[in-house]
């Protein structure tokens, strides 16, 4: 019985070590966000794939999917939102300008809101369309920013909207950097770390055989 208990204890130890090693091996795979998605999301943001509420960039168009990154949570309310909406077909600069003008006409153009011009930028190595909306408080300080970009592909287009009122993000460059990180993510395998994990597994296997034979 003593030998049996000792053997079981050793087996448990080996199992624990194997579990830790497998976790380490899993950590060796360092993916960026898979598929077409933002690749430089701010720390602490959480993604939900079902965001079917709110006004989209192109209200007249039906969208194929819509998700949102939520972050900078204060008193249970997100201060920052990054909407990702997928549409069928491509988008022209005329459509983007019409969408911007529709937004301006819907909410008016008071001095407290600046609707930036639609510009051609490069995102994911291809031409995209983008503009910034800036809202000011009564003291002419920036109250919130919305950076919108539309990335057309051959058969689909993605609209990315970064809306924030978080004080630490009220700098246009911080929003642009995140939105312009859009692209197709790829999983990167760290082979050196995986080989180390395999060597550890082999060593644990030898120890396991040694212990069982001695028992």
| DSSP string of 100-132, one letter each residue | HHHHHHHH---TTEEEPPPEEEEETTEEEEEEE
Is residue 194 predicted with pLDDT exceeding 70? no
Residue 105's pLDDT is what?
A: 82
Higher pLDDT, 63 or 202: 63
Percent pLDDT > 90 in the chain is 47
Mean pLDDT of the chain: 78
Alpha-carbon dihedral sign for residues 41, 46, 52, 55: negative
For domain 33-187, say whether CATH 2.10.109.10 is its number: no
- The arithmetic mean of pLDDT across residues 177-195, rounded, is 69
The backbone torsions φ and ψ at residue 42, rounded to the nearest 5 degrees and listed phi first, read -60, 150
Least confident of 4-13, 114-123, 165-174: 4-13
CA pair distance 173, 179, nearest whole angstrom: 10
CA pair distance 128, 124, nearest whole angstrom: 9
CB burial of residue 63 (10 Å; 0-12, 13-18, 19+): middle
CA pair distance 166, 45, nearest whole angstrom: 13
The 10s digit of each residue's pLDDT in 135-154 is 998 888 899 999 999 999 99
Contact (Cβ atoms closer than 8 angstroms) between residue 71 and residue 45: yes
**In the chain, where the domains are located:** 2-28+190-214, 33-187
Residue 156's pLDDT is what?
A: 94
Higher pLDDT, 4 or 128: 128
- The arithmetic mean of pLDDT across residues 19-45, rounded, is 61
Contact (Cβ atoms closer than 8 angstroms) between residue 86 and residue 158: yes
The 10s digit of each residue's pLDDT in 59-95 is 889 999 999 999 988 767 779 999 999 999 999 999 9
């Amino acid at each position: 019985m003593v030998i049996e208990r000792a053997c079981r204890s050793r087996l448990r130890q080996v199992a624990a070590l194997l579990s830790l090693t497998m976790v380490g091996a899993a950590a060796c795979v360092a993916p960026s966000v898979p598929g077409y998605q933002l690749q430089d999301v701010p720390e602490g943001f959480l993604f939900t794939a079902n965001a079917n509420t709110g006004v989209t960039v192109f209200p007249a168009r039906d969208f194929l999917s819509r998700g949102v990154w939520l972050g900078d949570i204060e008193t249970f309310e997100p201060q920052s939102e990054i909407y990702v909406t997928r549409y069928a077909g491509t988008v022209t600069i005329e459509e983007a300008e019409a969408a911007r003008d529709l937004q301006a006409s819907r909410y008016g153009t008071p001095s407290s809101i600046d609707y930036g011009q639609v510009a051609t930028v490069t995102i994911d190595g291809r031409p995209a369309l983008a503009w910034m909306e800036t809202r000011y408080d009564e003291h002419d300080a920036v109250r919130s920013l919305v950076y919108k970009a539309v990335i057309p592909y051959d058969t689909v287009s993605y609209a990315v909207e970064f809306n924030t009122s978080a004080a630490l993000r009220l700098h246009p460059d911080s929003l642009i950097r995140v939105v312009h990180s859009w692209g197709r993510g790829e999983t990167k395998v760290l082979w050196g770390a995986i080989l180390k994990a395999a060597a550890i597994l082999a060593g644990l296997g030898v120890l396991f055989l040694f212990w069982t034979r001695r028992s």
